[in-house]
Amino acid sequence: MKDLTEGSELKVIILFAIPMLIGNVFQQLYNTVDSIIVGNLLGKIALGAVGASFPIIFLMVSMVMGLGMGASVMISQFYGAKQMEKLKATIETFYYFLVISCILVTVAGIIFAEPILNLMNTPPEMLQSAKSYMIIYFCGMIFLFGFNGISAILRGLGDSKTPLYFLIISTVINIILDLLFIAVFKMGIDGAAYATVIAQALTFVGGMIVLQKNHPVLKTDLRKMKFVPVLFGKMVKIGLPTGIQQMLVAASFMAMTGIVLDFGTDAMAGFTSAGRVDSFAFMPIMSFSMALSAFAGQNIGAGKHERVVRGFRATLLFNITFAVVIGAIFVLFGGTLVGMFNQDTMVIAHGAEYLKIVGFFYWFVSIMFIVGGVLRGAGDTFFPMLISLLALWVFRIPLAHWLSSLIGPDGIWWSIPLGWAFGAPASLIYYLTGRWKKMSVVRHGGETPLPTPPLAEGAPDID
């Protein structure tokens, strides 16, 4: 656990973000390695099937991950305020939520996999492969939820290194199993799904054992765990807008995928390949946004709002610079990067054009994510949700439909930065209003006494 309320703001944020950045890169390697191996050993149809499956999986888990962000915000603020009893109760309540939601998502994913793929106009040659991949993935959802839940808790506590160690181990296992199941055992696209599930399961179980032994705050006796309704209510209040925002992103990705699928297998394979490359551009942006959330949460919990402002300014400048550099690399070498996934000339052409168009505009999305990091850390999650709703569903999706009817797949690619061009200034203007400074879940000036009767046996009151 790390206290983020002291020391140079940018230095603290960078040191906290670096393990998360490395961890996010390894997390992304799950999907990237799957795509590289599938695309080169099984062909562009199988590669397109993996790409068609991803937005559906993302949609099904996005609400849960959003509420996980709500838990992480509360944990960081309670830790910053040194209110350890409430911190412990928040973690236990979050565990209850993860178990119940995992069961619901797994069942829904298995039942609705094929209907949703049909709704997206998935080509017949991809349908069965995509359905099989998704069902296997959903059967292992408990391990994905468990590991990401633990990671959210650790980030709130200022520990970004432990999740990194787990991710490195998991990624290595996944790569080995990918090659074994696909190249040696000839299991096809199912092998990629089984490799991911097994790697996540081993990492989750090992991670739980380590955490129970080494992190006193996370050590939990399952027989004595408590669910605190008031805590869960606050978790939902903070996390629900983020969950809805994540669902809006996932649903928009599904809609975009459906539009791309109308242009055939080559466009879909190019979109999938470029999307994997594109995701690496988002790694530093996302990592610094997550680091800033934890930083803002702890410092707001400690009542240090001006420190949050200084950290925001330094992080924003640093992140924009990085986004410009990585965007230039993708513009110049996009074709070579897409070619790692599949050597078909049309696939490379579509993917390279995607990277060339969006690469110029990564600094827009960098502003959106960094502002969002501060707002989420403060517990102010409604406005980022509203910005996503407008940027995605008022700008991006309608523009993708219209522009693609005029200029083909390139019109879909152009709709992405045009959505960012609305979201970036809108986010920055809202941040400058300062409303986020009033959204803390921690009340300064002393603990609120326990209510009578208590919320639950042994449960703490919540400010």
What pLDDT score was predicted for residue 1?
60
Lowest mean pLDDT of 116-120, 128-132, 206-210, 217-221, name the range: 217-221
Please tell me the distance from the alpha carbon of residue 154 to that of residue 144, in angstroms, as a whole number. 16
H-assigned helices in 379-408: 382-389, 397-407
What pLDDT score was predicted for residue 83?
85
- Tokens linked to 409: 């797949």
What pLDDT score was predicted for residue 343?
84
Q: Each residue of 67-77: b (16+ CB within 10 Å) or e?
A: bbbbbbbbbbb
What pLDDT score was predicted for residue 442?
65
Do residues 273 and 338 touch, judged by C-beta distance below 8 A? yes
Q: How many CB atoms lie within 10 A of CB 390?
A: 16
Note the Cα 289 to chain centre separation in Å. Answer: 11
What pLDDT score was predicted for residue 462?
40
Average confidence (pLDDT) over 369-395 = 88
What pLDDT score was predicted for residue 460?
37
Crossing angle (nearest 10°) for helices 409-433 and 397-407: 150
What pLDDT score was predicted for residue 309?
92
**DSSP label at 5?**
S
Residue 332 clears pLDDT 80, i.e. is over it: yes
Please tell me the distance from the alpha carbon of residue 396 to that of residue 294, in angstroms, as a whole number. 30
| DSSP character string of 45-72 | HHHHHHHHHHHHHHHHHHHHHHHHHHHH
- Tokens linked to 148: 């990401």
Give residues with Cβ within 8 angstroms of 361, minimum separation 6: 327, 416, 417, 420, 421
Please tell me the distance from the alpha carbon of residue 248 to that of residue 256, in angstroms, as a whole number. 12
| pLDDT tens, position by position, 342-363 | 788 899 999 999 999 998 898 9
Q: What pLDDT band is residue 226 in, cutting at 50, 70 and 90? A: confident
Q: What pLDDT band is residue 445 in, cutting at 50, 70 and 90? A: low
Q: According to the per-residue pLDDT averaged within each range, which of 55-59, 103-107, 153-157 is highest? A: 103-107
Residue 210 clears pLDDT 70, i.e. is over it: yes
| pLDDT tens, position by position, 285-296 | 888 998 898 888
What pLDDT score was predicted for residue 403?
96
- Per-chain mean pLDDT for the chain: 85
Residue 463 clears pLDDT 80, i.e. is over it: no
Q: Of residues 325 and 443, which shows the higher confidence score?
A: 325
Residue 233 clears pLDDT 60, i.e. is over it: yes
Question: Helix or strand or coil: residue 311?
Answer: helix
Q: Which of 22, 20, 34, 26 is nearest to 171 (CA)?
A: 26
Residue 368 clears pLDDT 50, i.e. is over it: yes
What pLDDT score was predicted for residue 439?
75
Please tell me the distance from the alpha carbon of residue 235 to that of residue 149, in angstroms, as a whole number. 13
| pLDDT tens, position by position, 244-295 | 888 888 788 888 988 998 898 899 888 988 988 888 788 888 889 988 988 8
Average confidence (pLDDT) over 154-179 = 85
| pLDDT tens, position by position, 128-152 | 999 999 999 999 999 989 888 888 8
- Tokens linked to 391: 């940027």
Report percent pLDDT > 70 for the chain: 93
Q: Of residues 448 and 366, which shows the higher confidence score?
A: 366
H or E segment to which residue 257 belongs: helix 229-261
Residue 212 clears pLDDT 80, i.e. is over it: no
Q: What is the dihedral of CA 257, 259, 265, 268, to 10 degrees?
A: -40
Q: Which of 55, 56, 25, 35 is nearest to 270 (CA)?
A: 35
Do residues 135 and 49 touch, judged by C-beta distance below 8 A? no
Please tell me the distance from the alpha carbon of residue 202 to that of residue 283, in angstroms, as a whole number. 24
| pLDDT tens, position by position, 390-443 | 999 999 999 999 999 999 999 999 999 999 999 999 999 999 988 888 877 765
Q: Where are the domains of the chain?
A: 9-438
Lowest mean pLDDT of 159-163, 198-202, 237-241, 253-257, name the range: 159-163
Do residues 35 and 276 touch, judged by C-beta distance below 8 A? yes
Q: Which of 126, 129, 132, 127 is nearest to 110 (CA)?
A: 132
Please tell me the distance from the alpha carbon of residue 271 to that of residue 48, in angstroms, as a whole number. 9
Please tell me the distance from the alpha carbon of residue 244 to that of residue 248, in angstroms, as a whole number. 6
H-assigned helices in 81-140: 84-119, 124-139
What pLDDT score was predicted for residue 446?
47
What pLDDT score was predicted for residue 303?
86
